[in-house]
Homo-oligomer: A and B are copies of this chain.
Amino acid sequence: MCEANVYITKNGDEELFLSSVDEVLPEGNGTWKLTSIFGEQKIINGKIASMHLVDHRIVFETTDPN
């Protein structure tokens, strides 16, 4: 399966946000809806910083203070 793990960086720290993501859809205003291959959905607010699909990695960056 060719899913990817989505990481989020905030102020230089990187953490796993959602694993095994299949679908990434823009919702507007910098918001994205992620859906994993297991049907789990999470909303992420930020910009795509990098994607390395062979490594199964998508990194978002956010300046969100929360």
Partner-B contacts on A (CB < 8 A):
1-4, 21-26, 37, 47-54, 56
Let me know if B24 and A54 touch, CB within 8 A.
Answer: no
Hey, which chain B residues are within 8 Å of A4, CB to CB? Answer: 2, 53
How often does this chain occur in the complex, in copies? 2
Q: Please, could you name 7 A-B residue pairs with CB atoms under 8 Å apart, sorted by A?
A: A1-B54, A2-B54, A2-B56, A3-B53, A24-B50, A25-B50, A26-B47
Hey, which chain B residues are within 8 Å of A24, CB to CB? Answer: 48, 50-51, 53
In the assembled complex, the CB of A13 is this many whole angstroms from the nearest CB of chain B, namely 20
The 5 closest A-B pairs by CB, nearest first: A2-B2, A24-B51, A22-B54, A2-B53, A22-B53
